[in-house]
C-alpha cells in the first residue's frame, strides 16, 4: 500500500527501516490483517486484508491505536497496553480482544497481538515500531453468545404457552421494521449492526417469564390485580437476566418492550423518546403477533382487523413514525405470520 501524502516525514523514514520493510513486504498481500505503528503508537501502514475487512481509507493513517479502538479500550486497558508494550519486562508485547464497528458494517471482533519491531544496530534495546496482528473471531464469539442465550430462551419458552414460531416471528417483524428505518435521519442509532442484533435479540423480550409462577403465567381466566403485578415483573426479571449480555440492546428490549408512547405502559411508565428505539420496534411486532395468535383465553384475529385495532383503538400507544412504517409495510408482517403460522 502506498504512503499517502499526509504522512509525517518521521513516519516515512520509519517505513524505510529494514525491520519495517520486511513486515510491509511480507504482509502486503497476506490473508492476515496487519497494522504497523510508530513509537507514538500511531498507525503508519496497513495491509490490503485490513483494508478489506474494515473498509478503511487514507484517513486512518496517523490515527493513534487507542483512538481507533476507543469503543473497546477503556482507561484501564489503555494503561495496560502502554505499560506492556513500552516495557522489556513484558517483552514489549500486548494481547487482548478489541472490537471495531462501522455505520455501514457489522462489528468486527478480533484478538489483537502487538509485537515490537527493532530497527537494527541503532536500536537493539527498544522497538522503533510495532506490528499489530489481528485474528478475526467475530463469528465464533457471536455464535458462542447466541448459543448461551438460546438455551436460556428455550427454557423460558417451555415454561410459557407461547410457541417457538411466535418467538421467530417477533424476530422477523423487528428486523423488517429496522430495515425500513435504516438510513432515516430520525433514527441514527439504526445501523447494520442494529439490524443484525435486533433480528436475534427481539426473541429474548419475554425471557423474564422464566421467573413468573406457572399458575399465573398459564392462567386461562383474567388475572387478579396482585397476579397482574407479578406478571409485569417479568420485564425487570428479564433485564436482570440479560444484564450480562455484552450488547445493551438485549436488556433494553426485555425491560422496556411494554412501555407505551403515551406513558401508559410498564414497568416505569416511560413515554415517547425516553423509550429506546429497539423496544419501540419490538413492541409493535409483539402486539401484532399477540393479537393474531390463538391463546387459551382468546381467538385469533385476522390481519386486517389486527392492523385496524392497532391504528385506531390503540392509537397513541406506539411511536407514530415507526407506526407509519408499520402501516406502509403491514403486508410484509402478514407474510411473515403466514409463513411461520402455528400448526
| CATH number of the domain enclosing 25 | 3.30.450.20
- Is 1 inside any structural domain? no
Confidence bin at 6 (pLDDT 50/70/90): very low
Burial of 21 (0-12, 13-18, 19+ CB in 10 A): exposed
- Is 263 inside any structural domain? yes
Decide which of 91, 118, 136 is a domain's last residue.
Answer: 136
Confidence bin at 102 (pLDDT 50/70/90): low
Same domain assignment for residues 171 and 105: no
Whether pLDDT at 337 is above 50: yes
CB neighbours of 136 closer than 8 A, spacing ≥ 6? 33, 53, 108, 109, 110
**d(C-alpha 107, C-alpha 109), whole Å:** 6
Same domain assignment for residues 160 and 280: yes
Partner residues linked to 120 by β-bridges: 123
Residue of 240, 259, 265 lying closest to 251 (CA atoms)? 240
Confidence bin at 12 (pLDDT 50/70/90): low
- Is 228 inside any structural domain? yes
- Is 51 inside any structural domain? yes
Q: Which domain holds residue 259?
A: 141-339
**d(C-alpha 107, C-alpha 74), whole Å:** 18
3-state percent breakdown (helix, strand, coil) of the chain, nearest 5: 55, 15, 35
Decide which of 70, 104, 136 is a domain's last residue.
Answer: 136
- Percent with pLDDT over 70 in the chain: 88
Q: What's the domain count of the chain?
A: 2
Same domain assignment for residues 76 and 215: no
Same domain assignment for residues 129 and 166: no
Cis status of the peptide bond prior to 321, with omega within 30 of 0: no
When pLDDT is averaged across residues 190-194 and rounded to a whole number, the result is: 90
- Is 2 inside any structural domain? no
pLDDT for position 5: 32
Same domain assignment for residues 154 and 15: no
* 281-327 residue pLDDT tens: 999 999 999 999 877 667 889 999 999 999 999 989 999 999 999 99
- Percent with pLDDT over 90 in the chain: 49
Decide which of 136, 160, 188 is a domain's last residue.
Answer: 136
Same domain assignment for residues 150 and 267: yes
Same domain assignment for residues 184 and 272: yes
**d(C-alpha 168, C-alpha 172), whole Å:** 6
- Centre a 10 Å sphere on the Cβ of residue 100 and count the other Cβ atoms it contains: 19
Same domain assignment for residues 317 and 172: yes
Quote the Cα angle for 291-294-296, to 5°. 115
Amino acid at each position: 500500500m502506498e504512503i499517502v501524502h499526509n504522512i509525517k516525514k518521521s513516519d516515512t523514514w520509519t517505513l524505510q527501516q529494514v525491520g519495517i520493510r520486511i513486515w510491509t513486504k511480507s504482509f502486503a498481500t497476506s490473508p492476515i490483517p496487519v497494522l504497523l505503528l510508530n513509537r507514538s503508537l500511531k498507525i503508519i501502514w496497513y495491509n490490503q486484508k485490513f483494508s478489506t475487512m474494515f473498509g478503511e481509507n487514507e484517513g486512518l493513517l496517523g490515527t493513534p491505536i487507542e483512538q481507533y479502538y476507543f469503543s473497546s479500550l477503556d482507561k484501564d486497558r489503555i494503561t495496560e497496553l502502554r505499560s506492556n508494550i513500552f516495557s522489556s519486562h513484558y517483552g514489549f508485547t500486548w494481547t487482548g480482544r478489541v472490537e471495531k464497528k462501522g455505520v455501514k458494517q457489522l462489528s468486527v471482533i478480533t484478538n489483537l497481538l502487538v509485537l515490537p519491531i527493532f530497527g537494527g544496530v541503532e536500536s537493539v534495546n527498544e522497538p522503533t515500531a510495532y506490528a499489530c496482528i489481528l485474528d478475526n473471531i467475530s463469528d465464533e464469539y457471536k455464535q458462542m453468545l447466541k448459543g448461551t442465550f438460546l438455551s436460556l430462551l428455550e427454557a423460558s419458552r417451555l415454561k410459557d404457552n407461547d410457541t417457538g414460531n411466535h418467538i421467530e416471528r417477533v424476530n422477523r417483524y423487528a428486523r423488517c421494521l429496522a430495515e425500513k428505518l435504516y438510513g432515516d435521519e430520525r433514527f441514527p442509532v439504526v445501523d447494520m449492526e442494529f439490524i443484525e442484533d435486533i433480528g436475534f435479540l427481539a426473541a429474548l423480550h419475554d425471557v423474564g417469564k422464566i421467573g413468573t409462577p406457572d399458575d399465573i403465567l398459564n392462567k386461562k381466566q383474567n388475572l387478579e390485580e396482585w397476579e397482574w403485578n407479578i406478571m409485569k415483573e417479568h420485564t425487570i426479571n428479564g433485564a436482570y437476566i440479560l444484564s450480562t449480555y455484552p450488547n445493551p440492546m438485549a436488556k433494553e428490549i426485555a425491560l422496556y418492550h411494554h412501555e407505551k408512547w403515551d406513558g401508559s405502559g410498564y414497568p416505569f411508565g416511560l413515554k415517547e423518546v425516553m423509550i429506546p428505539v429497539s423496544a419501540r420496534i419490538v413492541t409493535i411486532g409483539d402486539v401484532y403477533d399477540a393479537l393474531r395468535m390463538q391463546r387459551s383465553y382468546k381467538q385469533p384475529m385476522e390481519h386486517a382487523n389486527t392492523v385496524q385495532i392497532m391504528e385506531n383503538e390503540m392509537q397513541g400507544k406506539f411511536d407514530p413514525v415507526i407506526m407509519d412504517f408499520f402501516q406502509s409495510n403491514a403486508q410484509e408482517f402478514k407474510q411473515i405470520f403466514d409463513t411461520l403460522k402455528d400448526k
